[in-house]
């Protein structure tokens, strides 16, 4: 799954750099690398932090404008802008502008694939095993995600708080 995400990141990043006069084409590889690491790290952090409602909300929107208000997306944009400045050498304005444009585009593309059935949300979350989705979703540690895990997540984990928050008046 991460390979598929990386392909989307590479494709969208290359297109965005081709259309951006402020970023030299020879930096495309470094920019794509930082974009990928920021996105993957941001998703891993959200999964491991139990931020499932914002993740689910994020992956259900294809409107790039709606995505920019999502806390997970905001964190990823901020991380990428910082990395592009520090690791690639872009000025802060160019880095911020690029990050604010590219991350919603990539997430929108991923959300479209989720809606079309090409991607499965649980596959995306499971790809972040090792302190990620496996730890959050596999509550009993048996390596499988089943109804017992769902019950445990709702009654003992952060998911219950998240779901409870959805149904408050």
Contact 107, 26 (CB under 8 A): no
Identify the CA nearest to 68 among candidates 97, 104, 106, 16: 104
Is 9 part of any domain? yes
Is 91 part of any domain? yes
If one counts the domains in the chain, the total is: 1
Residue 44 Cα distances to 4, 20, 49, 106, 142, angstroms: 16, 29, 8, 16, 21
Is 135 part of any domain? no
Is 137 part of any domain? no
Is 145 part of any domain? no
Residue 87 lies in domain: 2-119
In tens digits, the chain (169 residues) has pLDDT values of: 778 888 888 889 989 998 889 999 899 889 999 999 999 889 888 877 777 778 878 887 778 888 888 999 999 999 999 999 999 999 999 999 999 999 999 999 988 888 888 877 777 666 664 444 444 555 555 555 555 655 555 555 555 444 444 444 4
Is 150 part of any domain? no
Is 149 part of any domain? no
């Amino acid at each position: 799954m991460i390979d598929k995400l990386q392909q989307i990141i590479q494709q969208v990043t290359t297109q965005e750099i081709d259309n951006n006069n402020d970023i030299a084409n020879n930096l495309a590889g470094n920019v794509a690398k930082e974009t990928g690491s920021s996105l993957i790290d941001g998703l891993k952090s959200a999964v491991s932090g139990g931020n499932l409602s914002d993740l689910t909300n994020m992956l259900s929107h294809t409107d790039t404008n709606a995505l920019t208000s999502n806390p997970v997306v905001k964190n990823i944009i901020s991380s990428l802008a910082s990395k592009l400045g520090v690791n690639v050498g872009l000025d802060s304005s160019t880095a911020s502008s690029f990050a604010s444009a590219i991350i919603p585009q990539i997430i929108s593309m991923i959300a479209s694939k989720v809606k079309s059935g090409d991607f499965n949300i649980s596959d995306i979350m499971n790809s972040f095993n090792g302190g990620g989705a496996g730890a959050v979703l596999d509550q009993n540690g048996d390596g499988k995600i089943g109804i017992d895990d769902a019950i445990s997540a709702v009654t003992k984990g952060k998911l219950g708080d998240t779901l409870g928050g959805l149904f408050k008046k």
